[in-house]
Chains A and B, each alone.
Chain A
Amino acid sequence: MKGASSSRSTALAQLDKYGSIAAFALLIIAFSAISEHFRAGSNYMNIIVQAAPLMIIALGVNFINMAGESDLSLGGVIGVCASLFCGLIGKGASPLAAAAVAVAAGLAFAAVDGLMVAYAGLSSFIVTISIMFLSMGVEMTYSKGASLWIRDNPILVIVNGSILGVPNLVVIALALFAASYILMHKTKLGVHVQAVGQSTDAARYAGIPIKRLKFLMFLLGGLFYALGGMLNSLRSSGSIIYSGQKLLLPALAITFIGKTVLGSKKSNVPGILVGALMMSAINNAFTMLGVSFYFTTIVQGLVLLIAAGFSVGNRKTILQEDLR
């Protein structure tokens, strides 16, 4: 009896650990079987390129999640960064200067989030949803509701080009992924952030500066939103109003898919890679299958819900831990 139950629990643990990766593989196989457009060789690279900006943004939220907070502000902040970037280039600013302004804007909003949440102790949900609407207003005010296009700028060629057949966007995204992985999983800082996110008491015991780390994670998030927002606009040659809104739901879905990867049920960096590819593949497949784009948010909402369900830890353990 005991043997049976323990082999069952190891099977469950394996499912926990690799279930979402297996689900990802199954999705790819299924989509490839159904659609010849999906299985076309170049489409796979398309999926990866489409995933790149989204993954960078999800890496940004993930920093904040790993510190035990949530962030919805990206829904507006990304739009501000992208429209500033595109608008300034349109007015003749150098891409570098425009990027500096966009990053500064991302950091500024993040600093407000961070101060309110980490230092003033407000709920991150409320603070960041306020900042989302506030920044959407800023974007609207700046762009006057118009789309801001970039035309004939060398930066378009650079970012959308490729090295040795690998698109530059993918190179940039992978570099940021690697840096995030090392920072969050290999350095003292990252491990301390994880401790803060998982057990504030234990972190406090260890003398870890909880407020400072949370604040820092918001800043990093703001930086990645700005980077992701700019790259996203370069991919589509301009910033369309409220572009951040469209990325909010997929980005949150990615973070929840990410939690289900590796079975820890905790926010982690590798999970973001899997989640971003999965979201991108789903979006791509729907386009290839000719499903109406009206339908896309419904599916994204469902994916978020399912991933959130799977990311909840084993109920029995939670109960016993909580009771201690």
Chain B
Amino acid sequence: MGNNYLLEFKDICKRFPGVRALSNVSLGIRKGEIHALMGANGAGKSTLIKILARVYSQDGGEILLDGKDISRATTETIRDLGVEFIFQELELVQDFSAAQNILIGVEPTKGLVIDRNRMLREAQAAMDAFMPETVDVSSSVSSLSVAKQQMVCIVRALYRDPKILVLDEPTSRLSATETEALFAAIRRLRRERGITVIYISHRMEDIYAICDRVSILRDGEMVGSYALEELSRQDIVYKMVGEDIASPSRGRVAGARAQEGKPKLSVAGLCLERHLRDVSFDVYPGEVFVLTGSVGSQKTELIESIIGIRKADRGTVRIDGKEVRLQGAGSAKSAGICLVPEDRRRNGVIYDFAVRSNSSLAFLSRWTGALGAISRKREKADTEKMADFLSIKTASVETLVKTLSGGNQQKVVIAKWLLGDSTVYFFDEPTVGIDVKGKSEIYEIIKTLSSQGKAIVVATSDIEEAMRIGDRIAVMFEGGIQGIVDSDEADKQRMTYLAMGGRQ
């Protein structure tokens, strides 16, 4: 192939505590190409990009830009090398105007003072060149919709005239016209300036609309780089998911019992401005109900609105037919509902606590005696039993959670909620960043729970996973449910179609 790469990743390795994020990833990006980076959630795409952005530094390997190693660069200097990023997190100063955000760091000055008029003029011109008459750049960013904030990020990056532009799920917040404007801008920049683009997305449409080549990551390893016309959509999905889960086991315990009796959990007409549009569904005792959809489909927001972490604008949540108004994890807990959250590092476990104290945290009063003191003996016995039941791989329950692998950490989070005897369980992306074996163990736990008659809601971006564990699967797209499919009738193509905004 020759070494004509503008940007080259060589044998990049990266570990996080308990997670192997990237192992020996090599990838070459040619000048002037639009290169898609694909992979299931947790495959390591964002980690790789954040290493390029110097947010993380790699444990091994090097990155060459024009043949020169850039490991010395910092988050502050990487952009001087002509690399611009648009991350999923909107990194904007909320109280600043759009214009201030677009020109931040490169403000025009008159003497010592910022030339406000020229700043507004230049920012507006840049914005209008991208998409006319959409954003008034003098308005403060906090008053803009998420889509418009995303456009401010895009215009900010384009304004700096980068050599390489890295886009991480740029269209997840954009409408079709806004997406088209982004693509037009990218094509124009490539034609006029020879810009090189790394494009991360779950949306097949986007990938085929704009990319030339695609590289696929799976579980932190590079599967390969291909010309896009060599691969069909199925090929890409196949390479993303791998062979391990190619033939999902259909041994669902609860399948037959699903939807008998009265619904345990009913959600009706849930709306949340900018996030949810009129979401309704029922979950029956013993049923595994899966919410799937790509990034930006608002699965987490839906769960948070049900639990009351976010306050829905409209809609009702019923438990056993009785309306409940939940105010967050605390009141959900009393109603017998628990949430195993998405980001276990931030919301799920306390790193420096032992397995025992992490598992017992939510329902400590179970082990308190007359004076409110915790009976260590009973606490230990119960957590040991639970650790056993979940086969958490740990030397003892006194081991610190930070020393466990990602999969075992996730089981500790699950242990915490299982000890409370809830009747409704929400799992938000329960297997992200967990290896194949850990995944199937977590599937087993979910199955066991459903066989005990619990109502279970699992949010997952992974369609294979949805089909493997769900009795019914709701496919979400941009805050609405596109369709609910019985898993016996589910096929990947139809679900992918729904997840991309198609109608049943």
User: A residues near B, CB below 8 A?
Assistant: 182, 186-188, 191-192, 194-195, 198-199, 201-210, 264, 266, 316-317, 319-321, 323-324
Contact = CB atoms under 8 A, between A and B. Distances in A.
A203 B96 CA distance: 12
28 contacts: A188-B109, A188-B114, A191-B100, A192-B105, A194-B96, A195-B93, A198-B94, A199-B91, A199-B93, A199-B94, A201-B91, A202-B91, A202-B101, A202-B104, A204-B75, A204-B91, A205-B85, A205-B91, A205-B104, A206-B104, A207-B76, A207-B79, A209-B76, A210-B76, A317-B142, A319-B310, A323-B304, A323-B309
Interface string B42-81: 0000000000000000000000000000000001110110
6 shortest interchain CB distances as A-B pairs: A206-B105, A206-B104, A205-B91, A186-B113, A202-B91, A201-B91
A213 to B, nearest CB: 11
B75 A202 contact: no
Contacts of A209: 76
B125 interface: no
Contacts of A194: 93, 96
B93 A320 contact: no
B114 A187 contact: yes
B310 A323 contact: yes
Given A199-B92, A316-B311, A321-B94, A208 B105 contact: yes
Interface of B: 75-77, 79-80, 85, 89-96, 100-101, 104-105, 107, 109, 112-114, 142, 304, 309-311
Contacts of A195: 93, 96, 104
Contacts of B94: 198-199, 321
A39 B96 CA distance: 41
Contacts of A206: 104-105
Contacts of A188: 107, 109, 114
Nearest to B79: A207
Given A191-B107, A205-B104, 10 more contacts: A182-B113, A187-B109, A194-B93, A195-B96, A198-B96, A201-B89, A204-B76, A205-B91, A207-B75, A207-B80
A317 B94 CA distance: 11
A198 B95 contact: yes
A264 B109 contact: no
Contacts of B91: 199, 201-202, 204-205
Contacts of B92: 199, 202
Given A198-B93, A207-B76, A320 B85 contact: no
Nearest to B106: A206
Nearest to B300: A323
A99 to B, nearest CB: 26
A267 B489 CA distance: 58
**Interface class of chain B by DSSP:** loop
A202 B310 contact: no
B122 to A, nearest CB: 14
A202 B287 CA distance: 43
B284 to A, nearest CB: 29
Contacts of A207: 75-77, 79-80, 105
Nearest to B85: A205
A182 B113 CA distance: 8
B89 A324 contact: yes
A186 B117 CA distance: 12
A199 B309 CA distance: 23
A209 B104 CA distance: 12
A192 B106 CA distance: 10
Contacts of B96: 191, 194-195, 198
A171 to B, nearest CB: 22
A321 to B, nearest CB: 7
B65 to A, nearest CB: 16
B144 to A, nearest CB: 13
A199 to B, nearest CB: 5
A208 B75 contact: no
Contact of B76 (A198, A208, A264): A208
A187 B90 contact: no
Contacts of A324: 89-90
Contacts of B77: 207
Interface centre among B113, B142, B309 (most CB of A within 10 A): B113
B305 to A, nearest CB: 11
A323 B309 CA distance: 9
B74 to A, nearest CB: 9
Contacts of B112: 182, 187
A169 to B, nearest CB: 27
B104 A208 contact: yes
A320 B310 contact: yes
Contacts of A201: 89, 91
Contacts of A323: 304, 309-310
A242 to B, nearest CB: 37
Nearest to A196: B93
Interface centre among A195, A198, A210, A316 (most CB of B within 10 A): A195
A182 B304 CA distance: 44
A266 B79 CA distance: 29
Contacts of B101: 202
B298 to A, nearest CB: 12
A8 to B, nearest CB: 16
A254 B339 CA distance: 43
